[in-house]
Structure 1
Amino acid sequence: MIIMSLLRNLTRHTISKSPFLLSARLCSTQKLSSGLEKRLSAMVTAKDVVIFMKGVPNAPQCGFSNAVVQILKMHGVEDYDAHNVLEENELREGVKVFSNWPTIPQIYFKGEFIGGCDVLLQMHQSGEIVEELQKLGIKSKLLTQAENEAKK
């Protein structure tokens, strides 16, 4: 988790002409109203797993949001809050400023910003997500399946 945080910070502060990085720097210069900041703080801490996505888990409206939902589903994560940023532009833009991350979807574990689809996919591929879910008291369905296979 610390390594991922360092990588995100490095990415945010890298000088580049990339539109993605330029957008990240722009997010860091904007300010939220105190009301929106309090609202977002409450939203990201309401559940152990919170995602801001385009669409809803049963009907994602973006491939990246769908990928996040599918990764969570593979690990058996069902009890999470999902907020559809397409329903409210203030939420869509505000969460980008709140996290200092320019893209949607965004994933939070216990109120801590994890990253976007790319970060969650990397955590899934490396197995790091299993450890992070365990810290939340969630046993990955993939780990349970592996343990059951080992017993056979």
Structure 2
Amino acid sequence: MSDINAFIDNSVKSNDVFLFMKGTPDFPQCGFSGQVVQILNYIGVEYSSANVLESDELRDGIKTFTNWPTIPQLYVKGEFVGGADIVKEMFQAGELQSLLSEKGIAVKSDA
């Protein structure tokens, strides 16, 4: 396993919720990453993230790791959930909150 794959694998397995995004949660650098950050913040879930703009190797590596062409990418308990469109649809349907609760991850009760 390459160093970048090891980093990605460790990141998604050692954090309950992990977001690969463009920018940071405090300063998203693309609208799609910003949408996912807003959703996660709204439902009050704790998460960690990595800025793919800091490394071409990471930006390319995460796409290969999941065989998913776009960023952001959200992981819950080591499993790939999806990108911005999927996360948004799941949130609007209440499925994201249910998934997090089923996995034992605390969300705000009013979300």
Q: 1 or 2 for the larger relative contact order (CA 8 Å, sep ≥6)?
A: 2
Residue deviations 1:34-78 (CA, integer Å, cap 9, x gap): 33222211111121000000000000000000000000011111x
CA shift, 1:130, in A, is 1.4
Structure 2 residue aligned with 1:116, among 83, 87, 90?
83
Structure-1-length-normalised TM-score = 0.69
Whether the 8 Å contact between 2:22 and 2:52 is mirrored in structure 1 is yes
State percent identity of aligned pairs: 51
Q: CA RMSD in A?
A: 1.3
**Secondary structure of 2:110's aligned partner:** helix
Asked if residue 126 in structure 1 is aligned to residue 89 in structure 2, the reply is no
Q: Which amino acid aligns with 2:100?
A: L
CA shift, 1:135, in A, is 2.0
- C-alpha distance in structure 2 between counterparts of 1:80 and 1:145, whole Å: 19
- C-alpha distance in structure 1 between counterparts of 2:47 and 2:106, whole Å: 14
Whether the 8 Å contact between 1:54 and 1:61 is mirrored in structure 2 is yes
- C-alpha distance in structure 2 between counterparts of 1:85 and 1:34, whole Å: 17
Task: Please state which structure has a larger fraction of its residues in strand.
Answer: 2
- C-alpha distance in structure 2 between counterparts of 1:70 and 1:136, whole Å: 21
Task: Please state which structure has a larger fraction of its residues in helix.
Answer: 1
Whether the 8 Å contact between 1:130 and 1:139 is mirrored in structure 2 is no
- Written as runs of structure 1 = structure 2, the 5 A alignment for 1:3-152 is 34-77=2-45, 79-141=46-108, 144-145=109-110
Unaligned runs of 5+ in 1: 1-32, 147-152
Q: Number of residue pairs matched?
A: 111
4+ residue segments displaced more than 6 Å: none
> Structure 1's 90 and 132: CA in aligned 2 closer, same or farther, altered over 3 A?
same
Unaligned runs of 5+ in 2: none
Whether the 8 Å contact between 2:16 and 2:105 is mirrored in structure 1 is no
Q: Which amino acid aligns with 2:110?
A: Q
